[in-house]
Amino acid sequence: MDKVIEIKNISYKYGAAEGVDVEALRGVSLDVFKGEFLVIAGHNGSGKSTLAKHMNGLLLPTSGEVRVNGIPTTNDARIFEIRSAVGMVFQNPDNQTVATFVEDDIAFGPENLGVPREEIERRIDEALAAVGMSGHRKSTPQKMSGGQKQRIAIAGVLAMKPRVLVLDESTSMLDPRGRKEVVETARKLNKEGITVVLITHNTEEAFFADRIVIMNEGHITAVGTPKEIFTDAETLNKNRLVLPPLLEIQRLLVIAGYCTGEPVFTEAELSERLINLL
């Protein structure tokens, strides 16, 4: 498979100037493959967000190397190529909109890249349609729900036509409904061909990932499919992650000897299984 992002043995230290010297990343290697839905999970302070910020050159590794489409992120001359290829959406939706009106905000990226005007108008419409917000072109994010604001932020990134969409804890400030909106938007975009990297501490969002990477104390501690990760409660525990209730029930059922086999990831499937048990 094609690698979109190659991360080779990177370390990142910050605070050297203040003399505190914190090592946020210690020898992390990871490839992001074209078209995959990758979830990077970890508790607060595990380094997952620092890793995300290396993916478009917002941070540069203290040692090691990150390449996007083969271009190292240290290449200053081509950094904007990297940033338009790897779009990033952040945690707080209020702090990433630059303009008062939706259309002006979405246009920000393509304007910066010097995209012709007619093309920008087309991209605004396409991006809004892709996140299911077509009717909101002339409205203002100020009055929207958190989930809607984040979808506008995603649209703002999509307008740059990225190959990878990185959601850097973009769901952590949202209510359950908003989280669902954002994750579902990401899944839909992934099906349409965009590579998605979702950073989260909420393991529920990893159910539908192709691959889950677990981080702890600046290391990658586990990599696997949802089935592998979610049947390994011990690893999750060691990394201070919580097994979502849906899977906790299944784990207890397995321990109690009521069922075996593959875990299921939807409530419907679980209830079907439970009914069969009765």
Token pair, residue 121, equals 């108008």
265, 208 contact by CB (below 8 A):
yes
Token pair, residue 187, equals 């899944």
Smallest distance, Å, CB 107 to other proteins? 5
Compute the Cα dihedral for 148, 154, 160, 161 and give only its sign.
Answer: negative
Rg of the chain taking only CA atoms, in angstroms: 20
Stretch that binds other proteins, among 30-38, 156-164, 223-231, 240-248 (CB under 8 A): 156-164
Between 143 and 256, name the residue whose CB sits nearer to other proteins.
Answer: 143
Count of residues interacting with other proteins (CB under 8 A): 42
Residue type, 45: G
Pick one of 90, 207, 230, 265: the residue that binds other proteins (CB under 8 A): 90
The interface with other proteins within residues 21-80 (CB under 8 A) comprises 53, 56, 58, 80
- Least Cα distance to 174 among 166, 187, 183 occurs for 183
Give me the 166-205 binding string for other proteins, x by CB under 8 A, dash otherwise: ----------------------------------------
Between 110 and 178, name the residue whose CB sits nearer to other proteins.
Answer: 110
Q: Name the burial class of residue 122, with classes exposed (0-12), middle (13-18) and buried (19+) by CB atoms within 10 angstroms of its CB.
A: middle
* Binding flag, residue 233, other proteins (CB under 8 A): no
Q: In what order do the strands lie in the sheet with 195-200?
A: 86-89, 164-168, 195-200, 37-42, 211-216, 219-224
Q: Cα(213)–Cα(154) distance, rounded to whole angstroms?
A: 22
Beta bridge partners of 195: 164
The interface with other proteins within residues 100-129 (CB under 8 A) comprises 100-101, 104, 107-117, 120-121
Stretch that binds other proteins, among 31-39, 138-146, 178-186, 233-241 (CB under 8 A): 138-146
Determine how many CB atoms are found less than 10 A away from the CB of residue 107. 22
* Binding flag, residue 95, other proteins (CB under 8 A): yes
Residues that bind other proteins (CB under 8 A): 53, 56, 58, 80, 83-84, 87-88, 90-92, 94-101, 104, 107-117, 120-121, 138-140, 142-143, 153, 156-157, 160
